[in-house]
Chain A
Amino acid sequence: MELLAVSVDPPEVSKRLRDHLQVRFTFLSDPDGALLDEMGIRHRGGRADGADIAFPTSVLVDDTGTVRWLFQSDTYRERARPEQIFAAIGSL
């Protein structure tokens, strides 16, 4: 099982955040929003300075590359509950 955090931040910003949070999973940079567009989750002008960012979305993908679970809220405060995520992983 792999955990990947994805944002439009450049690698150095992701690295700083990763060090600050003291976590070891991978942070992927999608500065042009190519993957966001494939997913349909580009939030145009969503950042305070008007830049495009991701709609917060969690996606569980199985070993065949198929999406098996997905979480998206209509507020950026709400995150998936750990028990929801573990239940989805358990069902793989």
Chain B
Amino acid sequence: MLWASLFLVLAAVAWFVRSATAVSPELLFGYEQLIHARIPWLLLGTLWLGAALGLLSLRQGRRWFHYPVLGVELLLVGGLSFYMLAGSFLPESELRVAVGDSFPGYALVDQDGRSHSLEAGEPRKPALYVFYRGDW
């Protein structure tokens, strides 16, 4: 049971790491969970099931390796649970633009240094602006 629990925890961690680092993660099983669910319960459930099996395995007998294995499992499960339930949450933004408002004007440069500017309310091609946190 200990090895089954370790397998579940490591599989969930690998699933998370692979999805978080993939260039085309939509091709991966379960990616939808990680990027479109506010809280990825399937991933958390897998982690918690793994941890529960690990703890239950103690009732089947204890060998020396139970403790380091369980220690690693609990660190991984605790860390990822914290990340999913608290660490990745943002403070409240002070969003000043609502549906029906004019999109603000701007004068910015693109990836090649070309200027792009628009006045608020100026006719333009319909556009989807995706504000992202940046690459670092």
A residues sitting closer than 8 Å to B (CB atoms) are 1-9, 11-18, 20-22, 26-30, 34-36, 38-41, 43, 46-49, 53-70, 72-79, 81, 85, 89, 92
Do the beta carbons of B103 and A65 come within 8 Å of each other? yes
Interface presence of B52 (CB below 8 A): no
- Give the 9 A-B CB pairs with smallest separation, nearest first: A40-B96, A38-B104, A15-B111, A14-B111, A2-B127, A54-B131, A55-B93, A7-B134, A40-B94
Please give, as numbers and ranges, the residues of chain B lying within 8 Å of A16 by CB-CB distance. 135
| Cβ 8 A contact of B129, one of A9, A15, A58, A64 | A58
Name B's interface SS. loop
With contacts A7-B132, A75-B89 taken as known, whether A39 is within 8 angstroms of B38 at the C-beta atoms is no
Residue of B nearest to A15 (CB): B111
Interface presence of B63 (CB below 8 A): no
Please give, as numbers and ranges, the residues of chain B lying within 8 Å of A57 by CB-CB distance. 93, 95, 130-131
Do the beta carbons of B100 and A59 come within 8 Å of each other? no
Q: How far, in whole Å, are A30 and B98 apart by their CA atoms in the complex?
A: 21
Interface presence of B42 (CB below 8 A): no
Do the beta carbons of A65 and B118 come within 8 Å of each other? yes
Name A's interface SS. mixed
Please give, as numbers and ranges, the residues of chain A lying within 8 Å of B97 by CB-CB distance. 38-40, 59, 67, 70
Q: How far is the CB of A50 from chain B (nearest CB, A)?
A: 12
By size class, the interface of chain B is 35 or more
Flag B100-136 by CB within 8 Å of A: 1 or 0 each.
1111111011111100101111111111111111111
Please give, as numbers and ranges, the residues of chain A lying within 8 Å of B106 by CB-CB distance. 28, 30, 34-35, 38
Do the beta carbons of A92 and B126 come within 8 Å of each other? yes
Q: How far is the CB of B91 from chain A (nearest CB, A)?
A: 7
Residue of B nearest to A54 (CB): B131
Query: Which of B6-14, B29-37, B64-72 lies at the interface with chain A?
Result: B29-37
Do the beta carbons of B124 and A61 come within 8 Å of each other? yes
Do the beta carbons of A61 and B127 come within 8 Å of each other? yes
Q: How far is the CB of A20 from chain B (nearest CB, A)?
A: 7
Q: How far, in whole Å, are A18 and B105 apart by their CA atoms in the complex?
A: 24
